[in-house]
Amino acid sequence: MLVKKIANPAGSVSGVLCTRSCSSLIFRFVINERLEQHAEFDVVGAVSKCNPKLRIDLQDNKTGAVSSVIPSLPLFDLGQVSTFGEGVCPGELYFLPISGDSSNRKNAIFVLNVPVRLALSGNLELNSDKFLDIQLSGLSAGLTSLDIFALESNSFSSVQCSYNKLNIPAGVAREVFYTKGVDFLFLGAGYTELQMTYPNGLVSRFTPEEVSFLDRFANDSFIEVSGSSNSAVKASIPLFSRSSFGGSVVPLNGAVNVEIIRDADASKSYEFFTLDYKEVSVSDILQSKLVPNSLGTTVNLDGSLSLKGGEVDSLLRNMSSATIYLKR
């Protein structure tokens, strides 16, 4: 579903609301550039224009609560985590003749799609009372349009993606972060060693080069651009591997804490982020998906629900997974 179409975006965009339940958001960038005869289209430059910072908040009008879904983070970093081991950001480059132009100039059309995952194996539940507030900053000049899509699944998820930004202040050479329950780190340049401590007391130490090795998909394609060229225009389409963007997705594999040791230049703060898969309260999802005003619904002391008849059917149609106990 198209959430918003923005013409000539530049600087920042705010107030984009998504009320449609979805599993991911897709950001589709389009650049339309007129090329002189024999000119070459700058694919690398076009890609670099498609990496603003993204912030998403979840607003619940029934409770008045506003919670962070994604703090302000570079879109490509989020895209790398969202495509970890599963696909790429697809791009396309093609050329169109300019009507009535006798100098053989062409219009270059460049398109890039960047996904950002919100939930696993199903939709993040949204509606007119509980919706996403999407904000983008650092949008480059030269973008022709930006389309934001909500990618829908055929079920609702009980596991949501939780992104958290962490910071080591300027002047601090090393710091420990507790990571119990965290699934992934995303680390950029600026450190010399990562130490991971496991429940059995074992401490593993990794250099940045070894961390890149931990990201077993580091050398896989991150952005794949299909394109064409002809005698009038040229385009060199490089391979955009995950490692070419300077960040690594690090699976924590149960580590209870990590220690990051800074490089020689610790005069600046160092930012990175974590991703963990957070279970949503099943009762909350069930209550919103049951048959309305049914006398068969019983809320138990432990927060579980007792269902009858059509309620069970409604549950099975709207949940990707659930534990159900049957009673005669």
Mean pLDDT of 262-290: 75
- Regarding whether 152 and 13 lie in a shared domain, the answer is yes
- Regarding whether 297 and 169 lie in a shared domain, the answer is no
- Regarding whether 80 and 20 lie in a shared domain, the answer is yes
- Regarding whether 248 and 211 lie in a shared domain, the answer is yes
- Regarding whether 291 and 148 lie in a shared domain, the answer is no
Please report whether residue 228 resides in a domain. yes
Please report whether residue 211 resides in a domain. yes
Please report whether residue 101 resides in a domain. yes
Render 268-292 in DSSP notation, one character per residue: S-EEEEEEEEEEP-HHHHHHHHSPT
Mean pLDDT of 167-181: 92
Predicted confidence at residue 226, as pLDDT, reads 84
- Regarding whether 306 and 244 lie in a shared domain, the answer is no
- Regarding whether 156 and 295 lie in a shared domain, the answer is no
Q: How many domains does the chain have?
A: 2
Q: What is the DSSP letter of 64?
A: T
Please report whether residue 43 resides in a domain. yes
Please report whether residue 34 resides in a domain. yes
Domain that holds residue 101: 2-280
Which residue, among 9, 16, 98, 39, has the nearest Cα to 235 in the 3D structure?
A: 39
Q: SS3 for 43?
A: helix
Please report whether residue 307 resides in a domain. yes
Please report whether residue 96 resides in a domain. yes
Which residue, among 327, 285, 291, 295, has the nearest Cα to 312 in the 3D structure?
A: 291
Give the C-alpha separation, 263 to 261, whole Å: 7
- Regarding whether 288 and 274 lie in a shared domain, the answer is no
For 183-193, the pLDDT digits (tens) are 999 998 889 99
- Regarding whether 123 and 262 lie in a shared domain, the answer is yes
Written as six digits, the tokens of 295 are 């006398």
- Regarding whether 303 and 156 lie in a shared domain, the answer is no
pLDDT band per the 50, 70, 90 thresholds, residue 213: confident
Indicate the pTM of the whole model.
0.82
